Structure 1
Amino acid sequence: MTASSTSSLTRPTITAPTELFIGGEWTAAASDARFDVIDPASGEVIASVADGSIDDAEKAMAAAVAAASDWAATPPRARSEILRTAYELIMARQEELAAIITAEMGKPLADARGEVAYGAEFFRWFSEEGVRISGDHTLTGDGKNRIVVTRAPVGPCILVTPWNFPLAMGTRKIGPALAAGCTVVFKPAEQTPLTALALARILEDAGVPTGVVNVVTTTDASGVVGSWMRGGAARKISFTGSTAVGKILLEQAASTVMRTSMELGGNAPFIVMDDADVGRAVDGAMVAKMRNMGEACTAANRFFVHRSVTAQFAEQLAERMGALTVGAGSAHGTEVGPLIDDAGRTKVQTLVDDALGRGARAVVGGAAPDGPGYFYPPTVLTDVDAASDLMSQEIFGPVAAIVPFDTEDEVIALANDTEWGLVGYVFTQDIDRALRMGERLEVGMVGLNTGLVSNPAAPFGGVKQSGLGREGGKVGIDEFLEYKYFAIPRG
């Protein structure tokens, strides 16, 4: 079955599977239950998708287990070529996939096309890394034994992804898992199941064997994922989402001593020093704040601007953000789409109202518009009290909250005063200061004079309560591999 929708403006045809993908078969949920997928730009239903249950989850895990030994034994080059083919198919279907992402998630088509290209790159990157899995050979200190170290896939893996980058978060996890020789059960976000199902179809077309990739869409995330966690067959979970849910999964993983990768919340500081190129800093802020309407864990959440350039930076940023075109992602010229749902927009408005109530000033934006869809205007707040709620919570919306500072030590203390530590941004023309500040920031990634850090070739991840492990880069595949050591006497 396929879902079809058309935009009243650009009228892209949107097609995607709407059934579960288990053991190489497209199948309805065991209970025949379904759930609706909503267009956040209009609030209208665009598709009805199979609503998987615990029974479906158990079938998916059984399929992954059954396929595990054969897939692990598949030559690395064969796995590599399947991933490379999947990369090429994604790029060939870029417009189709972008239309699906825009329809169910809301981001403008231009941004959706960018996500497709970015997401595809994980398959190309890990198709290359998969043939470079290496071990080691050495001698014991006394020379009596050889030490041979090999790498082996961890086994069946649970993959759980969020709604904000529905294609890229899937490829970032599936790519290294398959390259390492692991089979997977994959639960995408309830809000954006169509992209994940379209990705499963591409992997099927690329030649992924039966049972290697299994997708269960569901409204019962805790039930489905919980059954996988308790079952004992899975040896690894890779999760991207909130810190609160990540903590629950870590507790569940302890019962079977399961390997974990956790990419959790963020509260990114964006620091503009007194010697910064303000124009360049504003350019970086537009990327770090407005990518995906601010609905990204890497989004700049707290803007710390040196008092000497605060007014200049705020004025330029407000001018740029206020000039952005807000509308349905499928509409020509749209630069800012809707937020994902009413709960997301309500949270943003509540945080803004709290800041305004504490004395902040809205230079631009600050209030949700009337009408259908979950839109929120690009907003710049100045004179923000550091005790405001939006300084300690992820905003996940197009709101830039500016706090002035006077000294380097002061801003480092402010930036590190959070339970999260995913990414930080520093703008300064002094390279020594840039490196020093980057070293002092308690984060896993630092953008120096840039608002973009995500790249398939780089290790993505954070410290503190922003998570465990890394995705992407040369180390991304390590998360799906175990070490095995052979002690061999020298005869």
Structure 2
Amino acid sequence: MTDPTELTVDDWHGRAAEATFPTRAYIGGHWVPAASGQTFTVINPATGEPLAEVAAGDADDIDAAVAAATATFADWSALSAGARGSLLCRFADLITEHADELALLVTLEMGKPISDAINVEVAGAAAVFRYYGEVIDKIPGELPPTADGSVAMVRRVPLGVIGAVVPWNFPLDIAAWKVAPALAAGNTVVLKPAEESPLSVLRMAELAVEAGLPPGVFNVVPGLGATAGRALGLHPGVACLTFTGSTAVGKMFLSYSGDSNMKQVWLECGGKSPNLVFADCDDLDKAAEMACFGIFGNSGEVCSANSRLLVQREIADEFVAKVVERAAHYYPGDPLDPATTAGPIVSGKQLDQILRYAQVGAADGQVALGGKRVGETGYFMEPTVVTGLAVDSAVVTEEIFGPVLAVIVFDTEEEAVALANDTPYGLAASVWTSNLNRALRVSDALHAGTVSVNTVDALSMGTPFGGFGASGFGPDLSVHAIDKFTGLKTTWIAKGD
């Protein structure tokens, strides 16, 4: 197998020219067209040109996928946790073995730089499946004490068919966050990928069957949110739905649950994460480097992106200058070039939205860097830094989902915390300080699911990722994610006379 990290930009362009794409739904281990015969177009954001016509699934296709998942649920859930785990580890192996193929699909469909597609996206997805494959047979049940000496056993049991709806910014990785713990726990899955990025997940589902998972355990139905997504949210055969995406759409899934079978709904939604830099930070160069990574990495298309930079007044000018200097590292380029650190925005629609926010920033404050589209081919955007904004500017308060950083100056610790918490979101936050007491005080006061101290956006498979408020509820990652896809079942055995 070719080491994908050794391929050149010419190698990748050659592979792209010869690439074939999975374009049909993957249901019950078979490639099938949409029942309606309808398709939608996937666009290459680096060129703005059509990439593939993909089956546009709707309610009929969701019905078929739920039926396939239901038919195989009993057998899959009856396997021991160890047996399911071994199959998931084999699945992880196959994802790694097909890293170059999967990474190419990710780059072509949503613009992620090929190096990140290999080292972050594909590697992350494989690691998540391996983590849950290895941990699932190590989670014990409970034997709580009873007053009369009877035996009470509490077990985690699978719920049934899990519906999963995932976004385009990390199409493989976030799919793995949902699918891996659900499958490990003994559930079967119907996944609807984002319409911008269905190709890599479709191929990954096929690898699951190759790994030995029974057909129907993992199904993928591409389609539009208003049709396939809505049908999955309303389906009475779906026991639980997990979603990552915008807060507005997350609210719709809550409504779908109430209008159907009251299925459990777990949401990881929007964010407007603050990055607090205090004057006592002893490494402003590192803080500036990581501030750029926190907003310009993945072209700012990250729900937990550190999009609000709160910097103490006495270092504000110096620090913003460092950020502006380092932001050049994220100037966008050809995503098939392994040296590229930032690719295109996922779509023309998304780029237009980001540019509108940049215009608001120019009107409300001062654009210290960027603010414009790059080139006329594809959907590229300059890294953008905006200063001098009022705290009620839309650039400060609204999720942009792009490479736009709002800078806010503060004087005191209390002011910094108040500004950071002045948002309906509560997903992530970062703090830079060399004072341990301040780090503890501020991290405790911030309303966020993850607070990263002297780094940004820290996460691992062993720690939960999720937030509060408009950012949703029900964490991904760690053993805690297993709880979302299981029910607690008590078996009480009365003590005999």
Q: Does 1:433 align with 2:438?
A: yes
Q: Does 1:413 align with 2:412?
A: no
Query: Which one of 442, 445, 451 corresponds to residue 450 of structure 2?
Result: 445
Correspondence list, 1:16-95, <5 A: 16-95=21-100
Distance apart, 1:396 and its partner CA: 1.1
Structure-2 separation of matches of 1:353 and 1:163:
25
Query: Which one of 475, 478, 484 corresponds to residue 479 of structure 1?
Result: 484
Distance apart, 1:227 and its partner CA: 2.5
Structure-1 separation of matches of 2:316 and 2:353:
27
Which letter maps to 2:429?
G
- What SS is found at the alignment partner of 1:149? strand
- What SS is found at the alignment partner of 1:447? strand
Query: Which one of 244, 248, 255 corresponds to residue 251 of structure 1?
Result: 255
Q: Does 1:190 align with 2:171?
A: no
The alpha-carbon distance between structure 1 residues 8 and 372, as it changes in their structure 2 partners (threshold 3 A), is farther
- Residue 3 of structure 1 corresponds to none
Query: Which one of 307, 322, 333 corresponds to residue 328 of structure 2?
Result: 322
Query: Which one of 356, 361, 367 corresponds to residue 355 of structure 1?
Result: 361
The answer (yes or no) to whether the contact 1:275–1:428 under 8 Å persists in 2 is yes
The answer (yes or no) to whether the contact 2:223–2:229 under 8 Å persists in 1 is no
Query: Which one of 241, 245, 248 corresponds to residue 241 of structure 1?
Result: 245
The answer (yes or no) to whether the contact 1:16–1:197 under 8 Å persists in 2 is no
Query: Which one of 227, 230, 235 corresponds to residue 226 of structure 1?
Result: 230
Structure-2 separation of matches of 1:395 and 1:48:
28
Distance apart, 1:8 and its partner CA: 9.4
Q: Does 1:389 align with 2:426?
A: no
Query: Which one of 305, 310, 315 corresponds to residue 311 of structure 2?
Result: 305
Please give the per-residue CA displacement for 1:40-88, whole angstroms capped at 9, x wherever unaligned.
0110111121111211111111111111111110111111111101111
- Residue 4 of structure 2 corresponds to none
Which letter maps to 2:56?
D
Which letter maps to 1:57?
I
Please give the per-residue CA displacement for 1:369-409, whole angstroms capped at 9, x wherever unaligned.
34111110011222222221111111211122111100111
- What SS is found at the alignment partner of 2:148? coil
Query: Which one of 132, 144, 151 corresponds to residue 156 of structure 2?
Result: 151
Distance apart, 1:7 and its partner CA: 7.6
- What SS is found at the alignment partner of 2:37? coil
- Residue 99 of structure 1 corresponds to 104
The answer (yes or no) to whether the contact 2:305–2:457 under 8 Å persists in 1 is no
- What SS is found at the alignment partner of 1:308? helix
- Residue 299 of structure 2 corresponds to 293
Q: Does 1:11 align with 2:14?
A: yes
- What SS is found at the alignment partner of 2:307? strand
Ranges of 4+ aligned residues in structure 1 off by more than 6 Å:
6-9
Structure-1 separation of matches of 2:233 and 2:344:
34
- What SS is found at the alignment partner of 2:23? coil
Query: Between Structure 1 and Structure 2, how many residues are aligned?
Result: 483
Query: Which one of 176, 199, 204 corresponds to residue 209 of structure 2?
Result: 204
- What SS is found at the alignment partner of 1:31? coil
- What SS is found at the alignment partner of 1:355? helix
Structure-1 separation of matches of 2:157 and 2:165:
22
Structure-2 separation of matches of 1:139 and 1:336:
56
Distance apart, 1:22 and its partner CA: 0.7
Structure-2 separation of matches of 1:9 and 1:476:
36
The answer (yes or no) to whether the contact 1:367–1:376 under 8 Å persists in 2 is yes
Structure-2 separation of matches of 1:401 and 1:151:
44
The alpha-carbon distance between structure 1 residues 448 and 338, as it changes in their structure 2 partners (threshold 3 A), is same
The alpha-carbon distance between structure 1 residues 43 and 76, as it changes in their structure 2 partners (threshold 3 A), is same
Q: Does 1:470 align with 2:442?
A: no
Q: Does 1:378 align with 2:383?
A: yes
The answer (yes or no) to whether the contact 2:329–2:341 under 8 Å persists in 1 is no
Structure-2 separation of matches of 1:469 and 1:448:
23
Q: Does 1:460 align with 2:488?
A: no
Which letter maps to 2:216?
G
TM-score (norm 2): 0.94
- Residue 117 of structure 1 corresponds to 123
- What SS is found at the alignment partner of 2:199? helix
Q: Which moved more, 1:299-308 or 1:255-264?
A: 255-264
Please give the per-residue CA displacement for 1:145-179, whole angstroms capped at 9, x wherever unaligned.
22211110011110000000000011111100100
Distance apart, 1:348 and its partner CA: 1.3
TM-score (norm 1): 0.95
Structure-2 separation of matches of 1:378 and 1:297:
17
Structure-2 separation of matches of 1:243 and 1:229:
15
Structure-1 separation of matches of 2:60 and 2:247:
27
Distance apart, 1:323 and its partner CA: 4.3
- Residue 369 of structure 1 corresponds to 374
Structure-1 separation of matches of 2:367 and 2:492:
67
The alpha-carbon distance between structure 1 residues 8 and 344, as it changes in their structure 2 partners (threshold 3 A), is farther
The alpha-carbon distance between structure 1 residues 148 and 263, as it changes in their structure 2 partners (threshold 3 A), is same
Distance apart, 1:144 and its partner CA: 4.2
Structure-1 separation of matches of 2:280 and 2:123:
35
The alpha-carbon distance between structure 1 residues 188 and 356, as it changes in their structure 2 partners (threshold 3 A), is same
Please give the per-residue CA displacement for 1:441-467, whole angstroms capped at 9, x wherever unaligned.
011111111123232221010011101
- What SS is found at the alignment partner of 1:86? helix
Structure-2 separation of matches of 1:229 and 1:316:
46
The answer (yes or no) to whether the contact 2:152–2:491 under 8 Å persists in 1 is yes
- What SS is found at the alignment partner of 1:437? helix
The answer (yes or no) to whether the contact 1:133–1:151 under 8 Å persists in 2 is no
Structure-1 separation of matches of 2:43 and 2:398:
26
Which letter maps to 1:241?
G
Please give the per-residue CA displacement for 1:160-204, whole angstroms capped at 9, x wherever unaligned.
000000000111111001000000111000000101111111112
Structure-2 separation of matches of 1:115 and 1:332:
14
Query: Which one of 111, 125, 144 corresponds to residue 138 of structure 1?
Result: 144
- What SS is found at the alignment partner of 2:341? coil
The answer (yes or no) to whether the contact 1:287–1:452 under 8 Å persists in 2 is no
Structure-1 separation of matches of 2:76 and 2:174:
22
The answer (yes or no) to whether the contact 2:222–2:228 under 8 Å persists in 1 is no
Q: Does 1:339 align with 2:339?
A: no
Structure-2 separation of matches of 1:403 and 1:381:
9
